[in-house]
Structure 1
Amino acid sequence: MSKVKATPPPGFTLNINDPQVQEAAIRIQASYRVTGASTELREKGPPKILQELRDVVLVEGSAAKLECRVSAFPDPFIVWYKDGKELKDGPKYRYVFEDPDFVALVVRDGVLADLGKYTVTIKNPFGPTSGSACILVEVPAKVSKGPDNIKIRGEPPPDVAWLKDGDDIDEDDRVFFDVGDTNTILTIKNAKVSDAGKYEVFVENNLGTDRVLCSR
């Protein structure tokens, strides 16, 4: 069999000094590098976390999302924990896999009890890795009238004020109020006729305000 020498088509020339030719060569080289990098990321080995989890703030009643970027081949097994306790995928805690490189946990219907440290473990046959972050919970200021006291709640803890007929009460040795973690109590010693009026409690934090009428 005779050898045939390949020749360019008639009229075809390639000038390597042509800027367009050089630009095309650069694009081809860049594409090759990206493909090569992608291949390297898919090499077999233990999982790696490429983007760490970050702390997030969850407002009561809303949802929060923890996410990280990982590299793992073969595909890993994912488990999430809160304060060391495994979280099951379901209505409250939702495991999310947006694409092969991102794993996430969505915490729904946020409550103060969701405050804590969350950990994701990522494991394949070559070994495990893990990462952690915290969910911080914020609660709008709320006040309500209980059977024997005034209940308050909020995170950050709200500022509390008592009002009489719309004006702040100036405390002294006879009229003063105490503020606890979950309630507030107004004390009036040696009550006078002038103490009669409309009493309210006003609470405020960075998420909102609230007030309740205590008596008339």
Structure 2
Amino acid sequence: MDKKSNEQWACRFTKVKAVLVELDELISQIKADHKIQKMMEEPLSMKTITRSTGTERKINQLAEISDLSNIDSSSLGKKLDNTIDSGDMLKIITNELINILALDNDDENKDKIVNDLLENGRQSLINYQKDIKPKIYREQMNGNDNELMTLLKKYFEQKWEVEYVKPKVDGTPVDVTCLLNEIAKLNVKFTAIPKANITWYKADSTEIKADDHFQIITDDNGQSTLTINDATLQDSQSYTARATHKVRFVVAKVNLNVKAPPKVEASQSMNDQSCVIGQDTQISWKFSGIEKPQVTWFFNDQLLPTNDRFQVTETDDGTSTLSIHQAELADQGVYTARATNAVDEAKAKTTLNIVGFKTNLDAALQVTEGGIMTLKIVVKGTPKPNVAWMKGNDELTANDRIQVTIPTGDDDTYILTISNVQPKDQGEYSVKITHVSGSLKSNTCKVTVSSMS
């Protein structure tokens, strides 16, 4: 069985005490738990054990170390370091057991009795009843508050805490928020005696290995920092730090929230668009972001109100569309879509050009035979549209008598000039406009040619 993979799975459940895959390890754990359960069935008595002055002082020190209800593991470690080491503790316990049971120094079973007590508890005395005075045997085998039980309780409690102390989370880990492509630092502090082994896991229980993207640093005080360089949207998840001491462990979770400002989903955030006057048109921009941005539309830097002619619709993929009904020349200008979320904003601009007649042809015109006829019309559009002069349904072609003037620069006036007007020039004239956004035809000017007489 793979212990490591099962530990990764078990780290999500705080009530799991340990993951054991070896039989000997399991038996050792069960025996240790069983001993503690037997020895700790009643509250720990702090009754002073009266023996020689030097021994009494050391036993009281041991009792203080073993009273774990009012100290944490860090102070426990200090007491262990500053009062009694493991060798001194064993020596004190051994001497006290000999005194309590009134064992003779010459008793060949003395060491065996003591070792059995420290390994298997009070019930082991049953095997040595003949070696212990009957009165002392009865006193120490009955009840849970006698000198023997008090000493054994403290010994087993001390041994358990030293060998199998469970690490603790120091404080409450703080969730972290960072911007896309920035550095995120996740911190967790553990208290453990001795120092625990700390590993980090992703939300899917995959153990994190240090590389260019992830860095893990743990100091001597139990502070462990997971650094995520150039945070991506995929890094936005829950992370688990696990502190393990022998077979016991504790976990702490930290959430990372990677935020991103809105983004225009286009190669460029500016473009041009044209529409023929009187027709419907739409302007669309697509935005992305961790939090769906709110899109507001502006016309020439002024908030654009919605009405019967201007409507805004949005789709789930982040596309915002402005619909303009029956475009007018006054609708020509710059339309800005501004997407905003909690992080920042993004803008996309469309310059809308309206193709149409700024001025119309005269409804009627009378010219004299042999004279000059001039028709003018102002046509707006970007790029400049193709303008064709029409007589009836026929397009006019420039010749010696017919001249067509196309404007340049900012001028939008198109001129048709016919010299030496003839009766055949009489008829209905109009302008046909062709543009990438569509085509349209102007009003009609009815030309009448009168004779010179």
TM-score of the two chains, using structure 2 as the length reference: 0.36
Structure 1 residue corresponding to 2:186, chosen from 66, 77, 96: 66
1:3-152 matches, within 5 Å, as 38-40=77-79, 43-44=162-163, 45-86=165-206, 87-145=208-266, 149-152=284-287
Question: Which one has the bigger strand percentage?
Answer: 1
Is the CA contact (8 Å cut-off) linking 2:77 and 2:193 kept in structure 1?
no
Q: How far, CA to CA, are the matches of 2:350 and 2:79 in structure 1?
A: 68
Partner of 2:325: 189
Does residue 209 (structure 1) correspond to residue 209 (structure 2)? The answer is: no
Q: How far, CA to CA, are the matches of 1:196 and 1:41 in structure 2?
A: 84
My pick for the range that moved more, 74-83 or 104-113, is 74-83
CA spacing shift, 1:137–1:197, aligned 2, 3 Å: same
Partner of 1:171: 306
Q: How far, CA to CA, are the matches of 1:36 and 1:211 in structure 2?
A: 58
Question: Which one has the bigger helix percentage?
Answer: 2
Is the CA contact (8 Å cut-off) linking 1:144 and 1:212 kept in structure 2?
no
Q: How far, CA to CA, are the matches of 2:205 and 2:212 in structure 1?
A: 17
Q: How far, CA to CA, are the matches of 1:170 and 1:41 in structure 2?
A: 75
SS in 2 for 1:113: helix
**Could you give the per-residue CA deviations for residues 139-187 of structure 1, whole angstroms, max 9, x where no partner exists?**
2233353699422234444332112222222112332122345332222
The alignment yields a C-alpha RMSD, in angstroms, of: 2.8
How many pairs are equivalent?
Answer: 182
1:145-164 matches, within 5 Å, as 145=266, 149-164=284-299
Q: How far, CA to CA, are the matches of 1:111 and 1:201 in structure 2?
A: 26
Query: Which structure is richer in relative contact order (CA contacts within 8 A, separation 6 or more)?
Result: 1
Superposed displacement of residue 76, structure 1: 2.9
My pick for the range that moved more, 146-155 or 109-118, is 146-155
State which structure, 1 or 2, has the greater radius of gyration over its C-alpha atoms: 2
Is the CA contact (8 Å cut-off) linking 1:58 and 1:64 kept in structure 2?
yes
Identity level (%): 23
Is the CA contact (8 Å cut-off) linking 1:144 and 1:152 kept in structure 2?
yes
Is the CA contact (8 Å cut-off) linking 1:163 and 1:201 kept in structure 2?
yes
Structure 1 unmatched runs, 5+:
1-34
Is the CA contact (8 Å cut-off) linking 2:195 and 2:220 kept in structure 1?
no
Q: How far, CA to CA, are the matches of 2:253 and 2:220 in structure 1?
A: 20
One-letter identity of the residue aligned with 1:105: L
My pick for the range that moved more, 101-110 or 148-157, is 148-157
Structure 2 unmatched runs, 5+:
1-73, 82-161, 269-282, 353-453
